[in-house]
Copies of this chain bind each other. A is one copy, B any other.
Amino acid sequence: MSVDFKVKQAHKAFLASYSNDNLQKRAGWLEAIGEALEHWREDLVTVAQTDTHLPEARLNNELTRTVFQLMLLAEEVRRGDYLDVTVDHQDPDWGMGPRPDIRRMNVALGVVGVFGASNFPFAFSIAGGDSASALAAGCSVVHKIHEGHEALGLLTAEIVAKALSTAGAPQGIFATLTGRDAGIELVEHPLVKAVGFTGSVTGGRALFDRAVSRPEPIPFFGELGSINPAIVTEAAWNARPDDIIDGFLQSLTMGIGQFCTKPGVLFLPASVADAAKSKLIEKLRLHEPEGKMLNERIYQGFLESRGYVASLSGVETITAGDDSNPPMPAMFAAATQGLGKNAAVLQTEMFGPAGVVLSYNDQQELLNAIDELPGQLTGTIQSEADENIDDLMRTLGLRCGRLLRNQWPTGVTVSYAQSHGGPYPATTATNSTSVGTAAISRFVRPVAFQNFDETELPSELKESNPLELRRRVDGEWNRH
């Protein structure tokens, strides 16, 4: 079937499910997907292992996360808070002149194109966060399967389609396609109204450029790249140097460094840099690589970026790593002093087991270096309880979507408060998150209804509030 056919079918399915009191049904569809994935867990994990070289335990955890995500989003759909229902009654005395009865809610955008990520074959792929939140919002999904796990993609798609169909969802509400050209056609199709993407800066930016250059530009929610700086204060280092190095290395080498939240840069006081380097050399010597990188392209890309960073002037190699697959972790060092705008070491993501230790002489030098960072998914602070970290939090906060203290950035929980985003290039849509319940909001738009009769209003907006939605009425919040 052609891309055009699939998108048109998806659009029809969107229209068929674009109903006013569909929340319960839609939540059921998400749950059906979750249950089906759970049912086929063993097969899915087996195929995923072959496709991605990821270890079984990790894949099982990721699948658990994926199912949980679907269930949490289903619960959120049932609540209907994401509809942001707002009711203003007619008011002849409104301050700027008489106000008509006006009521607003969020509605689904239409067909959403989703591009799966190579490094999370479940959680950020076929039935992952983007697909799940688009379906939760009431959109249809056409998913471009990542070429790194095509067999898994096709199997998952079959399971998802079957589950949706059995649960009574309209045919075509979820479809998949493969191949680079099909992906481009998807982004450019007039009936596609938004795109979700997780991947590289190069690939993501190219698709973003297409999405915004269409006759009708569409929102492109792309999660692209991040080096995830981690900052260690002198007091923190003095209190627990081994904990810090262990935590950093564990987070950095987890999944062979193939996480978007991998801490790629560690800022340390210059006074302790030598001690830190010794510890890093010592601990990395004991590192036992496991598995294999996700695919040949990622492996080659990693070697290239690692070689580039190694070649930068002012960059010292602490441990070189090697060219085996997976490679032994590489560690570099440089001084923040004199790092100017566009310092390559602050701009280069090495997607794999490698990091840079940056030594700073004083807080101002550190803040200046942070100021030169491009947008980041996360920023980590390792500090002690009695320190004032206000300036650090503030400066880092201007660059990041999530700040952490005394923890490490890998392992992104799916929850109500989660935010997985950040200024470009962390994402192409800095006002959004791709993880957590707030991810649904990416795929809706507000519509206001002025002066309609109770019988005509969609259920969400009826005065009688039959769906018992939380809503804001004349400025005040009340559950019913």
Interface residues of A (CB under 8 A from B): 18, 61, 64-65, 68-69, 71-72, 81, 86-88, 94-97, 99-100, 102-104, 107, 109-110, 193, 208-209, 212-213, 216-219, 374-375, 385, 389-390, 393-394, 397-398, 400-407, 413-419, 421, 423-425, 428-433, 438, 441-442, 444-453, 456, 470, 472, 474-475, 477, 479
Contacts and interface: CB of A to CB of B under 8 A. Distances in A.
B456 A389 contact: yes
A446 B451 contact: no
Nearest to A386: B455
B87 A452 contact: no
B219 A402 contact: no
A406 B448 CA distance: 15
Contact of A449 (B71, B88, B403, B421): B403
B421 A445 contact: yes
A439 to B, nearest CB: 11
Contact of A219 (B94, B209, B430, B447): B430
Contacts of A450: 402-405, 407
A67 B451 CA distance: 25
Given A109-B430, A385-B453, A415 B446 contact: no
Contacts of A94: 413, 415
A413 B99 contact: yes
Contacts of A447: 397, 400-403, 419
Contacts of A479: 477
Contacts of A472: 416-417
Given A96-B68, A433-B446, A104 B418 contact: yes
Nearest to A449: B403
Contact of A69 (B61, B96, B374, B423): B96
A431 B96 contact: no
Interface centre among A102, A107, A394 (most CB of B within 10 A): A102
Given A397-B447, A446-B438, A456 B417 contact: no
A456 B404 CA distance: 11
Nearest to A110: B398
A19 to B, nearest CB: 9
A456 B406 CA distance: 12
A406 B451 CA distance: 7
Contacts of A425: 216
B104 A419 contact: yes
Contacts of A429: 219
A404 to B, nearest CB: 4
B109 A415 contact: no
Contacts of A400: 447
Contacts of A375: 216
